[in-house]
Amino acid sequence: MRNSLLFIVIISLFAFTALGASFWASYALAGVSYSLFDGETLDGWQVLTCEAEVVDGCIFIKSGDGVLASEKQYGDFVLELEWKALAEDNWDSGVYFRCPLPAEGAPWPEKYQINIKKGEDGALVGVPSTINDLCKRGEWNHFKITMKGSVLSLEINGQYAWTYEQIEVPEGYICLQAEVPSGGQFLYKNIFIRVLD
């Protein structure tokens, strides 16, 4: 009887531990920051209709029109990343959030995108009032994107840029845009996300 009870307890603990490990591996802990890019591989990303590789600890957007999409979808979060445009002029890329994967035949999702385009760096695409002048040409720039409910806000290089309160989609992928033929190559690094309650 005692051995049977001990066996049941051991099996129960094993099942609980395995279930817990599986749960935490599948879902991000709220309030905990973790890296979306390990600095060595593209693990955790889907590379769609473009070419990307890891160079010197950075994601290097090498060629094509497409996106690198996160494997998981996110709702409320704080996303921080650094980016650098390699083109001297007419650079163009962007960061998508709460978006679907691109429709068949399309290189990018329809929305939502924070632009990284010369003259519109840091602007929310489709919202002209979000254009600002906080990005540094030819240098590394830091974005802090906070998405909570329907409210989106952006800090650029440690400075408040804007807040927009009409995000309608509750969750989706995070994507880095490749628009190399017309916008040049880009580097991304230090990509961290913190899931909010």
Task: Kindly report whether the global pTM for this prediction surpasses the value 0.75.
Answer: yes
Q: What is the CATH number of domain 31-195?
A: 2.60.120.560
Q: pLDDT grade, residue 66 (50/70/90)? A: very high
How many Cα neighbours within 13 Å face the side chain of 55?
Answer: 10
Amino acid identity, residue 194? R
pLDDT at res. 32: 83
CA distance linking residue 98 with residue 7, whole number of Å: 46
pLDDT at res. 197: 82
Instruction: Encode pLDDT of 81-107 as tens digits.
Output: 999 999 999 999 999 999 999 999 999
pLDDT at res. 16: 36
Instruction: Encode pLDDT of 2-59 as tens digits.
Output: 555 444 433 343 333 333 333 333 455 667 889 999 999 999 999 999 999 999 999 9
How far the first Cα of the chain sits from its last, in Å, is 45
Amino acid identity, residue 54? V
* H/E segment holding residue 188: strand 186-195
Instruction: Encode pLDDT of 109-146 as tens digits.
Output: 999 999 999 999 999 999 999 999 999 999 999 999 99
CA dihedral 132, 135, 136, 142 (to 10 degrees): 160
Backbone phi, psi, residue 19, to 5°:
-65, -45
Backbone phi, psi, residue 71, to 5°:
-75, -30
pLDDT at res. 2: 53
User: Do residues 63 and 51 touch, judged by C-beta distance below 8 A?
Assistant: yes
pLDDT at res. 31: 77
* H/E segment holding residue 113: strand 113-117
pLDDT at res. 25: 37
pLDDT at res. 13: 37
CA distance linking residue 61 with residue 67, whole number of Å: 9
